[in-house]
Amino acid sequence: MPALLETDLPFPLFRRGKVRDVYDLGDKLLIVSADRISAFDFVLPCGIPGKGKVLNQLSAFWFEKTAHIIPSHFIKVIDGNVILNEVKNLSGHSGELPDYLINRSMLVAKAERIPVECIVRGYLSGSAWAEYKETGKVGSIDLPSGMKESQELPQPIFTPTTKSDTEHDRPLNAQDIRKLGIKDLIGELEEKSLLIYRYARDYAKTKGVIIADTKFEFGFINGELALIDELLTPDSSRFWDASQYKVGGSQPSLDKQPVRDWLLSQGWDKEPPAPMLPPHLVESTAQRYNKIYKLLTGYQLNVSKSL
């Protein structure tokens, strides 16, 4: 199955992100998860076949599973021709829509996005490990001395960053909070982020999966705080196989970390153009994404509609 890198639908384009193309359907949006993959803020020249379907359906799984904690923008997955026809009716479009929308797209409510990446870390890994080695802290949070790489933190920590389409994300500071006008909101963002993480962490452990860290995005829908974008996917989270977990080094990943590791091994300076991934890495990444979906949901990915 080839990778879907671009979409071109007969609806107004609301936003084209690194991975998702969002189309305007009036009071709703259609989010289409392409097979593009990004690393270090750049979209790579190749895609991962089927990746968008994993992101779409795993996000839907988590939106439904965490609805008792907080509402989300999620309405329904486009999982068949009946709902595809519903999209046509919503948009007023009379022509045929491409089958690739099935299973890789969802209808969502429009939301007023809060431009903050709400990152929660439960384990000391990645950039947090690098920072801890230098300062003994992660962000402004002091951690116990003598911790090792990949060690579980005494308790999950909230380390929000800015979210920008024009510059690299960086740790959120007091000036950012004032500028964004979220002084009275940041506490609720932290509370909800930690609640969702703890719930997902505990659920994933029953499936043999460790969620080392993840990030959430929030917005307002009719004045109510809600989850938006994606949720607990291998693009936005570090997933580890609990049976192979061992403190003191990097862990076998069920996410896109091996892609980042390969790019760094090539001496890439994180400036365009990004290197093309070798076929074996494309294949192994697709397998990891499918594996984490099956582990967490208990189901094989529904890929009955190919491109």
pLDDT digit string, tens, across residues 237-296: 999 999 999 999 999 999 999 999 999 999 999 998 999 999 999 999 999 999 999 999
The whole-number pLDDT of residue 307 equals 30
CA angle 249, 250, 254 (to 5 degrees): 150
Last residue of a domain, one of 112, 130, 156: 112
Among residues 111, 107, 110, which one has the least CA distance to residue 97?
107
* Burial bucket for residue 210 (CB in 10 Å: 0-12, 13-18, 19+): buried
- Phi and psi based region of residue 290 (left: phi greater than 0; alpha: psi -120 to 50; beta: remaining): alpha
Q: Give the integer Cα–Cα distance in Å for 290 and 230.
A: 17
pLDDT-derived band of residue 167, with 50, 70 and 90 as boundaries? Answer: low
Domain contains 7: no
pLDDT-derived band of residue 166, with 50, 70 and 90 as boundaries? Answer: low
Domain contains 143: yes
pLDDT surpassing 60 at residue 305: no
Give the lowest-confidence range in 103-107, 167-171, 200-204. 167-171
Q: Give the integer Cα–Cα distance in Å for 203 and 92.
A: 41
The whole-number pLDDT of residue 306 equals 34
Q: How many domains does the chain have?
A: 2
Determine contact, residues 37/285, Cβ cutoff 8 Å: yes
Average pLDDT over residues 23-45: 95
Residue 46, token pair as written in the block: 């190749």
Query: Over the chain, what is the mean pLDDT?
Result: 94
Residue 53, token pair as written in the block: 């379907």
Domain contains 2: no
pLDDT-derived band of residue 304, with 50, 70 and 90 as boundaries? Answer: very low
What residues have CB less than 8 Å from 305, skipping those under 6 apart? 99, 100, 102, 103
Alpha-helical regions (H) of the chain:
51-65, 81-91, 126-135, 174-180, 186-205, 257-265, 279-297
The whole-number pLDDT of residue 1 equals 75
Average pLDDT over residues 104-132: 97
Domain contains 4: no
Give me the domain span that covers residue 270: 114-295
Among residues 104, 54, 96, which one has the least CA distance to residue 77?
104
Domain of 39, CATH number, reads 3.30.200.20
Average pLDDT over residues 123-147: 96
Average pLDDT over residues 74-98: 91
Average pLDDT over residues 53-74: 98
Domain contains 287: yes
**295, amino acid identity:** L
The whole-number pLDDT of residue 301 equals 82
The whole-number pLDDT of residue 95 equals 85
Domain of 291, CATH number, reads 3.30.470.20
Reduced to 3 states, what is the DSSP secondary structure of residue 209? Answer: strand
Domain identity same for 234 and 275 = yes
Q: Give the integer Cα–Cα distance in Å for 106 and 87.
A: 10
